[in-house]
Amino acid sequence: MSDSSLVEQAKDLRAALLQHDYLYYVLDAPTVPDAEYDRLFRQLQVLEAEHPELQTPDSPTQRIGGRPLPAFGQVNHTVPMLSLNNAFSLDEVTAFDRRCREGLDEPAIDYACEPKFDGLAISLRYENGLFVQGATRGDGTVGEDVTQNLRTVRNIPLRLVGKDIPPRLDVRGEVLMLRADFAQLNVRQRARGEKEFVNPRNAAAGSLRQLDAKITAQRPLRFFAYGVVDVTAVSPAPTFHDEMMNRLASWGFTVAAERAVMRGAAGLAAYYAEMAAARMQLPYDIDGVVYKVNDLDDQVQLGFVSRAPRFAIAHKFPAQEALTTVEAIEVQVGRTGALTPVARLAAVFVGGVTVTNATLHNEAEAQRKDVRVGDTVSVRRAGDVIPEVVAVILEKRPMLGEHSDAPLHPPFALPKYCPVCGSAVEKLEDEAIARCIGGLFCPAQRKQALRHFASRRAMDIDGLGEKIVEQLVDNAIVKTPADLYKMGLTSLANLQRMAEKSATNILAAIEKSKHTTLARFIFALGIRNVGEATAKDLSRYFGNLDALMRASEDQLQQVPDVGPVVAASIAHFFAERHNIEVIEQLRAAGVQWLESEPMALTVAPLVGKAFVLTGTLPTLSREAAKEMIEAQGGKVTGSVSSKTDYVVVGEDAGSKLVKAQELGITLLNENQLKELLAQ
């Protein structure tokens, strides 16, 4: 395979995994099974291991989880909440044991073994025996502050009991819902005529992320502790992980009864077999088992790789499968415009739930597996919201006639126009996902488009958050971004939890947003593959929106860093009449910006110059100063180095000023910066 093909393959894998991460960790709405995610992740791991030059800082293999939800406060984890590497075979477990033995120079090792809970990872902080803070994993470094909701989980001790209570304790564990409690919860949901939950994991995650803790308190959540990452002044100090777990139990925490200490790879295999056999009889869902080197000093000696500990591994169970038939294939349009074919199935019980649909991922995958209406298919589910079709049982495919070799139903093909709004469907070269390009108009993308349009780095409409957008869309008050500028006070004030003062403030923010910059407006449109930096480049290069909208793909590629994929996305977006209509409505509503004659970036006076901002400037915000510098072709970075050309210094400047002085870098105050920009 050529170098360019490898680069594109790695890029596609990274893009797919990052999207799945967002859907799973941020939205609690995964669209692929764990087995498919694991396959893609391992494929990228192997590719990067064989070709280290393909590894990038933003690769999913280099990060831990997903971003925290903005609805909650943020918590910085004192110790990162790392993920575990996965093993799917006994050979991989044997290799893990060998690496541990070699790393410790020991002939045999004892491992603490425990179930791998299918819930939501949580960190609890105790000070002087009192529960003071709880957070989700988030991105592994910063999580969501769900302290008040966790206080409603009845088996989380609010005050530790027993002896030798440590002054400080950070406990890691999992919030989940027992199967019996989950069944009773759905009985109550049905009785009230409310939507039933799909599975215990989703019910637990959704319950813990309620903004109203009273709702969380009504849900039967449980917490199971599985480790300690920070503890002070415990005497005697535990030597082994299983000893630490016993200590947690003595302080009032619930721990898994199925824990065991096993010796060597043979012991791990025996524990795995025992838990696999007992899996369906357990009171909670598990999707595998976890092995940890039992000696805590040995754990420290083995240490960590960038994403996971070397002393622990998760041994995943095989995904569960069953046979059923495909009754129809429908196309769903996601929040980002992605078209996903979904197989509607004859109901089948698999993985602990009744399954009636399964994802086909994309057109290429559906055609590769050749899934057709009427087919008998193998369906896999391993605790996922949406199961997947594994394979077609071709010998059971219905034919036109008894002696005919022609299939009754044709191969699947995606529609050329969005089934929701009728806009054109775009599938860029080398991308697996096809998308509706009516981003400003399509009802399926409405909430996502509005949230992005109003975001701080786009139109910066303060107060127009996720919950308000959802109400505006659900109540049919707003259909496109242009409708935001047509709202009156009554429309907003009638929303839930919306006081008249808050509504007035939002309307003022909307009015203020009418005066923006071309770069912000371009970014706010939500064009696929066009981020902040690209929007700024397009603004500087074309100078005005009409020139940008008229540009051909060849002309767009004249803009630095705009390649064929980005150019195609931009051209297709402006070729869609629905998008143009919304833009015209926005302009008619008074949205405006300063425009100029088209200008190539190369004539900008500060092209290639690197700036660092430090301290508080007298009249300019840091964001405003950054936009002014970038408008002249300069680049603003976060740290001072030998490559920095200027450091702009305000009041209370810190270490960046000291380093700039040491390196002899030119220093500017606000007035000097304005003079430089005016040249």
Name the percent of the chain lying above pLDDT 70.
Answer: 92
Region(s) of the chain under CATH 1.10.287.610: 3-62
Total-model pTM: 0.47
- By three-state DSSP, how is residue 316 classified? strand
Distances 79 to 76, 150, 524 between C-alpha atoms, Å = 9, 20, 36
Mean pLDDT (whole number) for 239-255: 93
Fold of 415-601: DNA polymerase; domain 1 (1.10.150)
Rounded Cα distance, 454 and 509, in Å? 10
If one looks up domain 86-316 in CATH, what number appears? 3.30.470.30
Mean pLDDT across the stretch 420-426?
Answer: 91
The three-state secondary structure class of 88 is: coil
pLDDT in tens, 53-110: 888 766 777 644 445 556 688 889 888 888 899 998 899 999 999 999 999 999 999 9
Question: Which backbone phi and psi does 338 adopt, to 5 degrees?
Answer: -65, 130
Give the pLDDT of residue 439: 87
Domain 604-678, classified CATH 3.40.50.720, yes or no: no
Residues of the chain with CATH 2.40.50.140: 320-396
What residue ranges of the chain are covered by domains with CATH 3.30.470.30? 86-316
Residue with tokens 């960790």: 25
Q: Which residues contact 333 (CB under 8 A, 6 or more apart)?
A: 339, 340, 418, 419, 420, 436, 442, 444, 445
Evaluate whether the domain defined by 320-396 bears CATH number 1.20.1280.50: no
Whether the per-residue pLDDT at 553 is higher than 60: the answer is yes
Please say if the pLDDT value at position 26 is more than 50: no
SS3 of 405-472: the string is CCECCCCCCCCCECCCCCCEEECCCCCCCCEECCCCCCHHHHHHHHHHHHCCCCCCCCCCCHHHHHHH
Q: Which residues are catalytic?
A: 116
Where does CATH 3.40.50.10190 sit in the chain?
A: 604-678
Instruction: Identify the band that residue 161 occupies on the pLDDT scale cut at 50, 70 and 90.
Output: confident
Q: Give 183-230 pLDDT, tens digit per residue.
A: 899 888 888 888 777 678 888 888 888 877 788 888 889 999 999 988
Q: What is the length of the chain?
A: 679
Q: Which residues have C-beta within 8 Å of that of residue 359, sequence separation ≥ 6?
A: 31, 32, 340, 341, 342, 343, 386, 387, 388, 389
User: How many CB atoms neighbour CB 271 within 10 A?
Assistant: 21
Residue 443 CA to residue 426 CA, distance in Å, equals 17
Instruction: Check pLDDT > 50 for residue 435.
Output: yes
pLDDT band at 1 (very low <50, low <70, confident <90, very high): low
Confidence of residue 509 (pLDDT cuts 50, 70, 90): very high
Q: pLDDT per residue over 610-663, tens digit each?
A: 899 999 888 888 888 887 887 777 888 888 998 899 999 998 888 899 999 999
Q: Could you tell me the two tokens for 226? A: 């599985």
- Residues 48 and 306: their CA atoms lie apart, in Å, by 14
- For the chain, the average pLDDT equals 86
Say which amino acid occupies 575: A
SS3 call for 358? strand
Cα maximum dimension of the chain: 87
- Are 259 and 113 within 8 A, CB to CB? yes
Q: Where in the chain is the domain with CATH 1.10.150.20?
A: 415-601
> What's the confidence (pLDDT) of residue 289?
96
**What was the pLDDT predicted at 69?**
53
Specify the residue for token string 């996502």.
448
The answer to whether 632 touches 600, Cβ cutoff 8 Å, is: no
Handedness of CA 183, 188, 191, 194 (dihedral sign): negative
pLDDT tens digits for range 331-361: 999 878 899 999 999 998 876 678 898 988 8
pLDDT of residue 24: 61
Q: Is the pLDDT of residue 149 over 80?
A: yes
Q: Report residue 312: phi and psi, to 5°.
A: -140, 155
The pLDDT of residue 203 is 85
514 within 8 A of 589, measured Cβ to Cβ:
yes
Is 50 exceeded by the pLDDT of residue 281?
A: yes
Rg (CA), the chain: 28
Separation between Cα atoms, residue 673 and residue 357, nearest integer Å: 60
Phi/psi of residue 149, each to 5°? -70, -40
Q: What's the CATH fold of domain 3-62?
A: Helix Hairpins (1.10.287)
